[in-house]
Amino acid sequence: MNTDPIADYLTRVRNAQKAGHRVVEIPASNIKKEMTKVLYQKGYIQSYRFDDTSAQGVIKIALKYNPTTKAPAITKLERISTPGLRQYAHVENLPRVLSGLGIAILSTSKGVMTEKEAKNENVGGEVLCYVY
């Protein structure tokens, strides 16, 4: 039993990048699937596939690296809201990551999205993580 599945998701991606793996497998959940879609749409991962053959399912993520320097596309994944201390942001106080160069992934009433999309939708929500 994992008390913080989102932190586990971020740690698995972080560890796979440090080890230089091309693909990482993560136990699936609906919020992890939505976070994966956001990372793909913003160009932080190369591709992904949801494998629902087992009971829980698995997310297979193909990580993205710079072809010349072999550096990962994701420099930092930082968990913000934790089970012990939830962090919420109102639409007027949405975080900006690296002056707009990174993204903050939020869980809102309209789904999982970036802070820019939340601003356009005029909703606030729980700040899950920062990616840059």
Domain with CATH 3.30.1490.10 in the chain: 77-131
Domain with CATH 3.30.1370.30 in the chain: 5-63
pTM, to two decimals: 0.94
Per-residue model confidence (pLDDT) at position 2 = 80
Per-residue model confidence (pLDDT) at position 53 = 87
Per-residue model confidence (pLDDT) at position 85 = 97
Sheet containing 45-51: order of strands: 23-27, 58-63, 45-51
Tell how strand 103-108 and strand 111-114 pair up.
antiparallel
Per-residue model confidence (pLDDT) at position 39 = 98
Q: What fold is seen in the domain 5-63?
A: Ribosomal Protein S8; Chain: A, domain 1 (3.30.1370)
Residues in the chain: 132
Phi-psi region of 121 (alpha: psi -120 to 50; beta: other; left: phi over 0): alpha
List the pLDDT tens digit at each of the 132 positions of the chain: 689 999 999 999 999 999 999 999 999 999 999 999 999 999 999 999 999 988 899 999 999 999 999 999 999 999 999 999 999 999 999 999 999 999 999 999 999 999 999 999 999 999 999 999
**CATH code at 77-131:** 3.30.1490.10
